[in-house]
Homo-oligomer: A and B are copies of this chain.
């Protein structure tokens, strides 16, 4: 071996993650990244490849943490519990003190120049993957007879993912953690559910 590197790779990656999270992939310049990571360009390129690879590695770290929480939520006993757990955790993760607000998978590259299209597609893949995990969980509910008539796992998964995505925008708009938790609770309460008398209640209340 020779001269050892003068910085911690994981710490630097976390700093990069913070910058990408805050400014998005394209909005994060090499100047800001190296400044935040406390290293210079050649060290960055030697260690992480290039800007895109750096982003993907930072994204991996972000997603792996997120997936653990995700799996917890999916383990809840009922559909409504899954919804509540997932949206609560989303609200918390999107308003974590010391971190940028919102979700990297949503804000990272929602619109960009053609040059960054691969990154945008990668985030799309991730969002679709999450929705698909939810769908599978709701399919279990359906198999257990706990989905109201007229609802499908696909539709409910898309609705849930829509709300979670929307929370990211709301966080970016300035919504507080408390506000997002209220959104989560209200969504969970209103969630379509089979009533215990056996009737379905995809439609809330009988008032029509």
Contacts and interface: CB of A to CB of B under 8 A. Distances in A.
Interface of A: 22-24, 26-29, 32, 102, 106-108, 110-114, 116, 124, 127-128, 151, 155-156, 158-159, 161-170, 172-175, 179, 182-183, 186-187, 189-197, 201-208
Contact of A111 (B108, B116, B124, B179): B108
Contacts of A179: 158
Contacts of A164: 166
A116 B111 CA distance: 14
Contacts of A174: 124, 128
11 contacts: A23-B113, A24-B111, A106-B169, A124-B173, A128-B174, A159-B187, A161-B170, A162-B170, A166-B169, A194-B205, A204-B204
Given A110-B172, A158-B170, 20 more contacts: A23-B112, A24-B112, A26-B27, A27-B112, A108-B111, A110-B110, A124-B172, A124-B173, A155-B183, A155-B186, A158-B175, A161-B166, A161-B170, A162-B167, A162-B183, A166-B169, A169-B169, A196-B205, A196-B207, A201-B204
Contacts of A151: 186
Contacts of A194: 205, 207
Nearest to A29: B113
A186 B150 CA distance: 9
A88 to B, nearest CB: 14
A15 B167 CA distance: 31
Given A165-B169, A166-B166, A201-B205, A189 B186 contact: no
